[in-house]
Chains A and B, each alone.
Chain A
């Protein structure tokens, strides 16, 4: 039987607010345990939550970013469960009336197409602390620094059929939230955590199969692998006539398998009810419009503009806009060079390759856009052949100055002076009468091959700096005559 995979994703996004969602404690990653938790975060008696307006603003920005309906009225609820890293015994979340409603999000795929994903909702909630199991023998430590970190939980419809789509969605989401500046989207540090709901059904049927939920997958690569192994596991069970148990599973990257979580999550009744310590959030159109004015140009519209304005292909445009610093770098290069396609090729080609090789991000790139533009201009005006240009680029990367400086100091200028070239061509023809003879006797097909000898000789004589195009023209004119 052919199976169709059906997946929906839930992403917990930590919002990069200055302070926590309901307290004034700093919202930062990586401090000593329990020093960034105040009385509110610790759930001390009598302490009350006060909503951080920045968290609300970020949630609205996200909603606008995915074209979703913004809840003019949204309400916090208490989600009740006991766990040592949940200080109050309940999590303040939004269950009945979330801040962000339905939206539609276009995800760029590697073939340049867009895959629309339906956003079900996104709601604000507080993160829990962390249980630390390896710090004390036979005891569990509790670190509440993370308690109260603002989270936006983004839920999709079951619109994914392949791991590739799921990963593309997560990458696009990462791109969106970093553009918005509402999160650093760092999966390794837990700023973006992904739960995958996954089920299989016979291809061609509509009814959803029983799903499992894989919790807290923390890299794009693991998402892909977790999906692969879970699909395989479910498929094996179904093909053996078995049934899938609805449960929460964990992906173990070391063993590359998913396994059932035995603990707290099983069939919990969270007893949601409206949080009486917080008033409903009521916002109006003016507020929403004031937030809309804060939005930067987002990846989707920017992608379209790059195609229209610069004549780039869909795929190149999508690559360039995926991270805002990259897009900014591109536009700065174009502004200085006036060469859009050539700039794109250099950025996505040699520059990206060098950054990957040296493990640098675009922000850390040693070649400023203006310097790369200098190189692009010299390629465009034929001062440099592509071969010479690569040498100049190496010079730029090593910090040897501008492209023109490097051309000068390394003596890499292409010889395009027709007089000088002609003299070289004449000399080679004069010195190699046998080859000239052979060439002239050959037919067109063979001549092309034989001309390589002369090109090689002249390139050698010019130290590779002869303008190849002019050289070819001159050669064929002289030899064919």
Chain B
């Protein structure tokens, strides 16, 4: 078996190979662990490689395969964003604050994927506490984009996106609070799905902004995303906001004809802010969907641009409270020799949190303060409802909405790091989707100067099915998702 074939094979293909005995789970695991060891140096996409855990899980998977108790995901190597708590495996959220944190529990998503037989190879790098759009805020250093290591992979799930693009595993989890799955998926040329808020349990995922956070699959194909989503979803009595709604088998309707599917194109997503080359590629991609019989409809999402301000009030406000538990008292970083309680708090938090995290805590604290609550937080909640209403109105006319996932291709490291507002603009097309709680997906849809771009598809609440269907049909017609970068040090 050619190793590069294994590296970029889909989970679906690997599953078949495992079932047929062409390869064992242990062989697969060893292959990907070797590849990570060999190639991740310049990419820095992983924080922790959990070799021992992986080998134990791989052996268990091989046993399940021989016992005939395997699921479609048994033995498939997988990476978890380092925001998912993994029992016995260090979980840092890419923060100095949690550099020493080993959770005594698995996130629900982790235990579900474990139960499905996946093999966790390690934990991926990310923006600190998922706050960032370039993966430059990690305590463990920036992640490089495999397509051009001078460029960022996007964020906050940048490590996951880079690792999938680099062929370190076929599957990774990500989380998306304002675009953190979709934007890095776009910038690294992979498939990333943010499910409807409530579709996937948040229990055991380190909280950034609780009303916006949602976990989803990051994969090389829509088909794999459907397969992985099957194992991730469902109500969880450990998360009150997880939805009590039936979970279909997302793989069954992938092939369905999309003739007559109405795709809405919001004029706000194709304005002058959008790089014209990206715009052209997105239109070309949409033309492929038209060839499948889909109908393109011009629509409006008039409050798209208010989304940024709204998001940057609500998310930091919730974060300011969510991050209060990191106080140096029970777990996480604690400063040396605190003089008194205030000193313990101030130094533990100042030393433990990076600049962007501190900036958002300050913004959020301010937005909730007496005298400012009505002007900021309450107003933002109202605008949030207006934005959700915009989508609802649009979905009276169309079945899905399409547009770019990011305003441009991957930018250079350092290019926007000093300008938070320019960085926040990265999420202009994605964060409204979080505010409205809707499912959104990015699929590779073109290349500009050797760098991938992503087509974003947005669906109705709890209608991931239609997104997956349209995305899969698109990938049946196009090869963008099969492109692979050339890695420094790679054999082939």
Contact B240 A279 (CB under 8 A): yes
Contact of B237 with A by CB under 8 A: yes
The answer on a CB contact under 8 Å between A48 and B329 is no
* Contact A50:B240 (CB < 8 A) given known A42-B330, A271-B368: yes
Q: Complex formed: what's the CA distance from A88 to B330 in Å?
A: 10
Tell me the residues in window 384-440 of chain A with beta carbons closer than 8 Å to chain B beta carbons: none
Cβ B107 vs Cβ A46 within 8 A: yes
A45 in contact with B93 given A87-B325, A89-B324, A271-B368 (CB within 8 Å): yes
Identify the closest chain B residue to A89 (Cβ). Answer: B324
For the complex, give the distance between the alpha carbons of A45 and B369 in Å: 25
Across the interface, name the chain B residue whose C-beta is closest to A90: B321
Q: Is B370 an interface residue (CB 8 A)?
A: yes
Contact present for A45 and B238 (CB under 8 Å): no
Tell me if B237 and A50 are in contact (CB < 8 A): yes
B345 and A276 form a contact (CB under 8 A): no
- Bound together, the chains give a CA A276 to CA B203 distance in angstroms of 13
Docked-complex contact B240 and A273, CB < 8 angstroms: no
Q: How far is the CB of A409 from chain B (nearest CB, A)?
A: 64
Given A87-B325, A87-B330, A273-B317, verify A45-B210 contact (CB < 8 Å): no
**A46 and B345 within 8 A (CB):** no
CA distance A276 to B197 in the complex (A): 12
Which chain A residues lie closer than 8 Å to B345 at the CB level? 82
- For A42, list chain B residues within 8 Å (CB): 330
Q: How far is the CA of A182 from the CA of B238 in the complex (A)?
A: 25
Which residues on the A side are within 8 Å of B104 (C-beta)?
39, 44
Q: Which residue, A48, A49, A84, has most C-beta atoms of chain B within 10 A?
A: A48
Give Cα distance in the complex from A43 to B241, angstroms: 18
Per the bound structure, the CA–CA distance linking A363 and B395 in Å amounts to 66
Nearest residue in B to A140 (C-beta to C-beta)? B341
Interface residue from B240, B324, B329 paired with A49 (Cβ < 8 Å): B240
Residue pair B210, A277 in contact (C-beta under 8 Å):
yes
The docked-state distance in angstroms from the alpha carbon of A276 to that of B369 is 18
* Residues A33-54 near B (CB distance < 8 A): 39, 42-51
Which of chain A's residues have a CB closer than 8 A to the CB of B327?
A: 82, 84, 89
Query: Across the two chains, which residue of chain A brings its CB closest to B203?
Result: A48
A142–B344 alpha-carbon span in the complex (Å): 15
In the complex, which residue of chain A has the Cβ closest to the Cβ of B332? A45
For the complex, give the distance between the alpha carbons of A45 and B130 in Å.
Answer: 14
Q: Please, how many angstroms separate the alpha-carbon atoms of A220 and B336 in the complex?
A: 45
Q: In the complex, which of the residues A142, A273, A277, A279 contacts B377, with contact meaning CB atoms closer than 8 Å?
A: A273
A80 touches B341 (CB 8 A): no
Task: Please determine whether B365 and A271 come into contact, CB atoms closer than 8 angstroms.
Answer: yes
Tell which of A49, A88, A142, A278 touches B325, judged by Cβ atoms closer than 8 Å. A88
Which single residue of chain B is at the shortest CB-CB distance from A88? B325
Cα of A84 to Cα of B207 in the assembled complex, Å:
20
Tell me, in angstroms, the Cα distance from A303 to B108 when the chains sit together. 53
Q: Are B211 and A90 in contact (CB under 8 A)?
A: no
Whether A80 lies near B324 (C-beta < 8 A) is yes
Residues of B within 8 A of A272 (CB): 368, 373
Residues A45 and B101 in contact, CB atoms below 8 Å apart = yes
Interface flags for B428-471 (1: CB within 8 Å of A; 0: not) read: 00000000000000000000000000000000000000000000
A78 within 8 A of B: yes
Cβ of A276 and Cβ of B211 under 8 Å apart?
A: yes
- Contact mask for chain A residues 265-293; partner B; CB cutoff 8 A; 1 contact, 0 none: 00001011100111100000000000000
Q: Which residues of A contact B330 (CB under 8 A)?
A: 42-43, 87, 142
Bound-state Cα–Cα, A185 to B277, Å: 71
Q: Which residue of A lies closest to B211 (CB)?
A: A276
Contact call B318/A89, Cβ cutoff below 8 A:
no
Which label, helix, strand, loop or mixed, suits the secondary structure of the A interface?
loop
In the complex, B103 has a CB within 8 A of chain A: yes
Query: Which of chain A's residues have a CB closer than 8 A to the CB of B331?
Result: 44-45
Count B-side interface residues using an 8 Å CB cutoff.
43
- Chain A nearest CB from B287 CB (Å) reads 41
Chain B residue, CB-CB nearest to A142: B329
Give the Cβ gap from A383 to chain B, nearest Cβ, in Å.
65
| Contact, CB under 8 Å: A48 / B240 | yes
Min CB–CB distance B194 → chain A (angstroms): 17
Q: Which of B206, B317, B320, B370 contacts A46 (CB 8 A)?
A: B206
Tell me, in angstroms, the Cα distance from A142 to B377 when the chains sit together: 33
Chain B residues near A269 (CB-CB < 8 A): 369-370
| Size class of the contact patch on chain A | 20 to 34
B210 x A43 contact (CB < 8 A):
no
Hey, what's the 0/1 contact readout for A245-256 against B, CB within 8 Å counting as 1?
Answer: 000000000000
Cα A47 to Cα B202 with chains together (Å): 9
**A45 and B368 contact, Cβ closer than 8 Å, known pairs A90-B321, A279-B241:** no
Residue of B nearest to A22 (CB): B240
A271's nearest neighbour on chain B, judged by CB, is B368
CB distance from B319 to the nearest CB of A (A): 11
Q: Which residue of A lies closest to B328 (CB)?
A: A84
As a 0/1 sequence over residues 83 to 95 of chain A, the CB contacts with chain B under 8 angstroms (1 = contact) are: 0100111100000
Interface centre among B85, B101, B209, B323 (most CB of A within 10 A): B85
The chain A residue with its CB closest to the CB of B378 is A273
Known A50-B240, A273-B317; judge A45-B325 contact (CB<8 A): yes
Given known contacts A82-B345, A277-B210, A43 and B240 CB-to-CB distance under 8 angstroms: no
Name the residue among A46, A47, A49 with the largest chain B CB count within 10 angstroms: A46
List CB contacts (< 8 Å) of B183-213 with chain A: 202-207, 209-211
CA distance A271 to B318 in the complex (A): 11
Partner of B321, one of A87, A273, A278: A273
Inter-subunit contact A88/B324 (CB<8 Å): yes
Instruction: Please encode chain B, from 231 to 258, with 1 for each CB lying within 8 Å of some chain A CB and 0 for all others.
Output: 0000001111100000000000000000
Residue of A nearest to B212 (CB): A276
Q: Restricting to A79-118, which residues have a CB under 8 Å from any CB of B? A: 80, 82, 84, 87-90
| B245 to A: closest C-beta gap in Å | 14
- Contact status B325-A43, CB under 8 Å: yes
Q: Are A80 and B105 in contact (CB under 8 A)?
A: no
- A138 CB to closest chain B CB (Å) equals 11
Contacts of A276 in B (CB 8 A): 209-211, 241, 318
B333 to chain A, nearest CB (A): 13
Q: Which residues of B contact A84 (CB under 8 A)?
A: 327, 329, 341
B439 to chain A, nearest CB (A): 19
Cβ-defined contact, B203 with A46, below 8 A: yes
Asked if B325 and A277 make an inter-chain contact with CB atoms under 8 angstroms apart, the answer reads no
Q: Which of A20-67 contact B (CB under 8 A)?
A: 39, 42-51
Task: Determine whether B91 belongs to the interface, using a CB cutoff of 8 Å to chain A.
Answer: yes
Q: How far is the CA of A269 from the CA of B330 in the complex (A)?
A: 24
Say if the beta carbon of B98 comes within 8 Å of chain A.
yes
Is the CB–CB distance between B317 and A48 below 8 Å? Answer: no
State A88–B324 Cα separation when bound (angstroms). Answer: 6
Given the interface contacts A46-B205, A46-B207, A84-B329, does A78 sit within 8 Å of B238 by beta carbon?
Answer: no
Whether A82 lies near B324 (C-beta < 8 A) is yes
Give CA–CA (A43, B326) in the complex, Å.
9
B241 contacts across to A, CB distance below 8 A: 48, 276-279
11 A/B residue pairs, CB under 8 Å, sorted by A: A44-B104, A45-B93, A45-B103, A80-B321, A84-B327, A88-B324, A88-B325, A271-B320, A276-B210, A276-B211, A278-B240
Which B residues contact A (CB, under 8 angstroms)?
84-85, 91, 93, 98, 101, 103-105, 107, 202-207, 209-211, 237-241, 317-318, 320-321, 323-325, 327, 329-331, 341, 345, 365, 368-370, 373, 377
Residues of A bordering B, CB below 8 Å? 39, 42-51, 78, 80, 82, 84, 87-90, 142, 269, 271-273, 276-279
Known pairs A42-B330, A276-B211 / 5 extra A-B pairs, C-beta < 8 Å: A43-B330, A46-B207, A84-B341, A89-B324, A90-B324
Q: Which 7 A-B pairs have the closest CB atoms?
A: A89-B324, A276-B210, A271-B368, A276-B211, A46-B204, A43-B325, A45-B206
